[in-house]
Structure formats: C-alpha cells, structure tokens
Chains A and B, each alone.
With several copies, the nearest count.
Chain A
Amino acid sequence: MNAITPIEPADLNALEDEAFRLHIRAWIEANYPAEIRNPPKRLHWEENKSWYFKLAEKGWLCPGWPREFGGLGLSPTKQIIFTEELERWGCARSNDHGIIMLGPLLIRYGSAEQQQHFLPKILSGEHIWCQGYSEPNSGSDLASLRTSAVLDGDEYVVNGQKIWTTLAQDANWIFLLVRTDPAAKKQEGISFLLVDMNTPGITVRPIINLEMHDEFCEVFFDNVRVPRANLVGQLNKGWDMAKALLSFERIYLGSPRQSAYALTRLRQLAERMGVWEDAVFGQEYARHRADLADLKSLYGRYVEVLKRGQPLGADVSQLKIIQSELFQRITETMMAIAAENAGLMEPMEGNRNLNPAGLYIQARPTSIYGGTNEIQRNIIAKNVLELP
C-alpha cells in the first residue's frame, strides 16, 4: 500500500508542470524503498519488485502509455519530468523491458488480441520481459543475426543463441528478433517474436561481468516451439519495428544522470582523500563540472524536441558519446585520487558513496552497450555530417 495518498487530480496532465513535478516528487520520496536508492548494480526482480508493484498499484508504472491501454497518457513534457524525478531520487531502473520496449511496440504494431493479452500482464507484473536481440556474432552488426524461426504447422521452431540479454534470469517472457527468411538480404528476413521463457528448449546462462554481477545472460534456443500467433507485425518486417524504438534508447543513454551521480561521488571521495582544496584537483573537477553542465544544456535541447512532439534525429547519438565518455573521465579522476584504494573491490570504509573502482568498472561498458561509440560515430558521420 502506498505510504501517502495525496489528493490525486483526475488528470495529471492538467497540472502545471511545476506542480506536477512536486506531486510526483512527494510521492516518490514517500514511497521509494530507501535501501535501494542509487543501487551500485542493476537490481534483480526479487530486490526490485516491491517498487514495481507500488508503481503498478498507483497506476504510474507506464507513464508514456495511452490511458486506454492502462498508462498515464502523460504529455512528452510530463513524461520527461517524471523521468527526471525518478533519476533525481536515485530510483533503480526496474525490470522495464516490457514497459519501455515491448509495450510501445505492441501498442504501435501489435494485433488487438496481442494488446489485450499482453499489456495487462505487464501492468500487473505477471509478465516480466527481457529483450533478445544481440548474438555472439551479431553485436555491432545486429542485422547479421542468425537465430532462426522456421514455421512448422502452427508453430515457429526457434534455434540459436542470444547474448547480452539483460536480466534474462528474472524474466518469464522474451521478445526476439529471429531470422525467418534466410534467403533475403540481412535486414529483410527478420521477424519479431514473443516467447514464453518456460517453453521447453530454452536455457539461460548468466554471464559474470567485470562488476562480478550477473546482469547479462546468454539464452540458448534448442527447437523451441512458439505459437504462430506470437509473431508481432508482418513476417520479415521485425527489423523496422525494432529500429523505430531505438531513438528512445539513444536519448536514455545520453541522460546526464550517470555523470551527475559520479560527479557527486567524486566530490565526496575528494573530501575523504583530502584533495578537495587541491588546485590541480580543483581544475580537473571544474572541467568535469563544466562538461556536465554543458551536457545538461545539450540534453535539454533534445528534451525540447521531445516536448514539441518531434522525432529525434540521428544527431542524438552525440549525447550518448558525450555522456559515456564524460562518465568515464570522471571515474578515471576518481581512480587517480583514490590512490591505493583504487584497487579495492568493496566501497571504502563500508561507505557506498566511496566506491571508486565500482564506478570506474561500471563506466567501462557505457561506451560499448547500446551501440558502441564507434558505431555512434559512424552513424553521425553518415547521417548527420553526410560524409560519403
């Protein structure tokens, strides 16, 4: 049950932006479990579900979904405020692939039956989704994926392997990009399939990463039979559907929140290490500080695009590069001032705000996941700079 039940307006969209912000903020602060603020690692479902259910019960799980599908139907501006408030309070990202990725895709491309069947189960927490896109030999070149789905009667038979599947061990459903036409050109033989993780033939194997965390998994498919009705959209058109959702990811990965969090930790570490007043550290900190402020200004310009309901262009990839590399630089400064403490596995003195190595390691893959920064630079070169 929610700790506070303020008087809820019938339509949150009707609130002034600032009033809306304070309304959201108050509820988050009253309801978010203190013990999982700013978690150092991505949380598992068991750690996270109480918050998921709180949001679900409140009806705030899916701020961006239209009201007729059980969402809050917030305007773009208010969705952004909602996200900002979650980030401000250091709320953990929940098991949100159903909320962020699959829901919007089904709303846009799914059949009425699929919408009626799956969306309520996301809202209730009955279905927890994960995303099966990357494969061992298809990372940057995702469109070369080879996991196959072959129609056999009224079922697709799926064989292959996915990798880097976030929190697959917590999910009971997975949405997949599969190859349904091996003869077609790369992007043109790919379809979008919904698969119950309890189907025989699926094996999940967690991957331990440099954080010693099992956030990512490999998922193996050995003659997994999937009802034909679980195909979303048109056969062999899965690529375009999946791609249409990626601009969300690019702005999400460009959010200044990681760098802002790290900069605060850097200050705390500098104070602990006695270098806060040091001139050399000071100018390095000032540089990070200005870099972050300028990133926030640039991020705000893309948020403005969203607020006006316009599509994000390829240039949003700039944010992802700038944010990930700033996050990395901040953590590199942390490592330098931490000196011998830089090697420690656990936070210093049991204070999780003093965890240089943890943040440093956490920052490493930000230039790899979500499309490596090399791929982002290719995208900008071709699509923004229009180089040949």
Chain B
Amino acid sequence: MSSAAGIAPWSDDQAESARMVRDSAAGFLDVARARALRGTMPGFSADAWREMGALGWIGLLVPEEAGGSGLSMVEMCALAEELGRGLAPEPLIPCVLSAMLLAEAGEREVLAQLLAGEAVVLTAWQDRANTLAVCTDAAATRRFVPMAAGATHVLLPVGDALHLVNARDCEITTEATHDGGHLGTLRPGAGRAIGRADVAAALDRAALATAAYLLGGMESGYAMTLAYLNTRQQFGKIIGTFQALQHKAVDTKLPIALTRAAVEEAAMDPTRAACSRAKARASEAAMIVGQNCVQLSGGIGYTDQYDVGLYLRKAMVLAPAFGGAALHRARFMDLTPETEDA
C-alpha cells in the first residue's frame, strides 16, 4: 500500500532526523512481543525499557545539557508512531512526560536513572476522569496512572509544583485494561518537593505523542486489513474486488490521512491548539479505524488471536488518555481565533 498523503511540512533536516529515529525503532515493530506481555505484571519488559533508555528515547525531549537527546516533537512523533505500529506496552510517553518535568524542575538524580531505563517515573496528574486540568490538591487520590504497577517513582504535580515520591510509599491499586496493561489508582505517600515545571505544556506534548502512537497503530491495523481484503475469497472472488468494501476501505483511509496531516503539522509547531486538534482527530479516528478494520475483517476480526483487534483495544485505552476527542476539540475551539475568511 502506498501511504501517500502529500508531504509533511518539515524541513529536509527534520525529515532526515525523523527517519533516523524511526529506523532506530525497527526492533519494536513485532506485535507478537506486545501480545506476549499482555496481562503480565507490570505489563512490559524491563529489558526493553533499558534498551529504550540506551537508545535515548526516554530523554528524547530532555535538553542535552540535562542528559537528554535534545530532540523535538518531530522526532518524538515519528518514534511514537513506530511504537504504535508495534503496540509497544512500555510506558514511554508517560515517562517522556516525567523526564521533561524532572529536567525542567532541575532534578538530576532520579532523572538520570529514568533516562537510563533503570527507573520508571510516572506522573500522576489527574484526580478524575475526563479532564485536562492538573490536580491541585496534594492529598487527592490520583486516577488512571498507566502501567502503575511498574512504577519505581511517582511524580505528583500539584499545579506546577512537583513532588517526587517513591512508588513503594504509595498505595496503588490497578485495573486491567483492554490492551493488556492496566491503570492505577494511587493514594500518594509522602515525597519531597523538587521544584516547579509547566505541567500543562508537557501534557500537551504527551497528548500529541499519544496521537502519533495512535496514528501508527491505525496504519498497521489498516495495512493488515488491506492485506486481508487482498487475499480473502468469497463468492469466487477476492473480497477486495467488492465495491462496497473498497469504498469502506477508502472511508477508513480518510481519517488516517487527516490524522497524519494534523499530527505532523502539530509536531513542527506544537502549540496547545495544534496539539489539541491533533489529539482530537487521532482519538476519534483511532476508534473509527479500529471499528472499520474489525468489520472489514469479518469473523476473524472478532477473534482475540487476530492482531487487528489488538489495535482496536489499544485505541480504547489511548483515545481517552491525556484527554479524549471532545475535550481536545473544545479546547482547540477555545484557543483558535476565528479565521478571517471573507
């Protein structure tokens, strides 16, 4: 399949840098690895985590002087997209978020462990569902912390003030999620204040990276579906010859193209409005694309053994993560001045 949808508005340097990051993710494209980790605790591989550290991914957005790779959202989105293709269960995006915050606050020791893939620092920023607002109550129970069972540390924003807590000092309960991972509910223990950071700005980037992860997942699930349409036979014909299925396939392609356009534009200039628009599109598109791919795959699409369903399950978990479509669309609307169209 050609995935052409025009050309990203990136400079040649940006495109080259993104390509290199993509190439570095080649080892994480195998969905079988993600499948094998489903339902385990903590749900991801410690080896893979250290490798992600060694590849400089956890600190991808951390300035070089703080020990990071000093790259931009262009590379981050390219990477997240590849991880989405492989459905990598490691909490990379949540930890990239934590790394940005630790660096900004000036914390160095735990940051170094995190960047090396030796620590897992999760930012427990929300105290309820369906919000983009950072919790401002230090004592509040935090909800929906992804892969919480694997945390070594928890970063607790109270507004822009950051507290770092040892995970073993928190009371954490988990609930299994459809992608084989889990979400944690966390009663914070005592930690230490480590400074301040612009949490909301970092959350924008996490939302955008999640959009890119969803984009990669959509494309892979869609590619599987096209392959199925190209091989499955019924009524003596390849089913991809049936016009109704062709058109449904096209209608599944369109939201993917729009997602890529929104994500790659936002990656170049990650304003809050651009991040919100990209996440709104990706969250909505991932569900539609996942549903359509299951439908186009027929009975086999409804079996757990078939990978297409894994992409839908991942979308169910990540579409609302860091804010769902409605929240982000409303924020995009609030932030964008009316155009001057005549």
Q: Do chains A and B touch in the complex (CB under 8 A)?
A: yes
Chain A positions near chain B (C-beta within 8 angstroms)? 37-38, 88-90, 134, 137-141, 144, 163-164, 207-210, 212, 260-261, 263-264, 267, 273, 280, 282-283, 285-287, 289-291, 293-295, 297-298, 300-305, 308, 310, 313, 315-316, 318, 321-322, 328, 332, 335-346, 357, 360-361, 364-365, 367-369, 372, 374, 377-378, 380-382, 384-388
Contact B143 A340 (CB under 8 A): yes
Contact A290 B245 (CB under 8 A): no
Contacts of B106 in A (CB 8 A): none
Contact A283 B326 (CB under 8 A): yes
Segment 234-268 of B: residues with Cβ below 8 Å from A: 234-236, 238, 240-247, 249-251, 253-254, 257-258, 261-262, 264-265
Closest 8 CB pairs of A and B: A301-B6, A343-B317, A381-B246, A339-B130, A90-B342, A297-B261, A298-B261, A141-B234
27 sample A-B contacts, Cβ–Cβ < 8 Å, listed by A number: A137-B234, A138-B234, A140-B298, A163-B299, A209-B302, A209-B304, A261-B341, A273-B130, A283-B326, A287-B329, A290-B281, A290-B329, A293-B277, A293-B336, A298-B258, A318-B253, A322-B258, A336-B326, A338-B129, A342-B316, A344-B177, A360-B316, A364-B294, A385-B1, A387-B226, A388-B238, A388-B240
B17 interface hit (Cβ, 8 Å): no
B192 interface hit (Cβ, 8 Å): no
CB nearest neighbor in A for B229 = A387
B40 interface hit (Cβ, 8 Å): no
Once the chains are docked, how many angstroms separate the CA of A72 from the CA of B126? 58
Contacts of A365 in B (CB 8 A): 299, 302
Contacts of B244 in A (CB 8 A): 374, 377
Out of B178, B235, B254, B342, name the residue touching A318 (CB < 8 Å). Answer: B254
B150 interface hit (Cβ, 8 Å): no
B5 interface hit (Cβ, 8 Å): yes
Contact A339 B2 (CB under 8 A): no
Out of B176, B178, B246, B342, name the residue touching A378 (CB < 8 Å). Answer: B246
Contact B298 A300 (CB under 8 A): no
Once the chains are docked, how many angstroms separate the CA of A106 from the CA of B293? 39
Q: A305-B7, A343-B316 are contacts. A313–B249 as well, Cβ < 8 Å? A: no
Once the chains are docked, how many angstroms separate the CA of A328 from the CA of B295? 12
Contacts of A332 in B (CB 8 A): 287, 291
Contact A315 B177 (CB under 8 A): no
Contact A141 B144 (CB under 8 A): no
Out of B175, B233, B340, name the residue touching A344 (CB < 8 Å). Answer: B175
Contact A368 B301 (CB under 8 A): yes
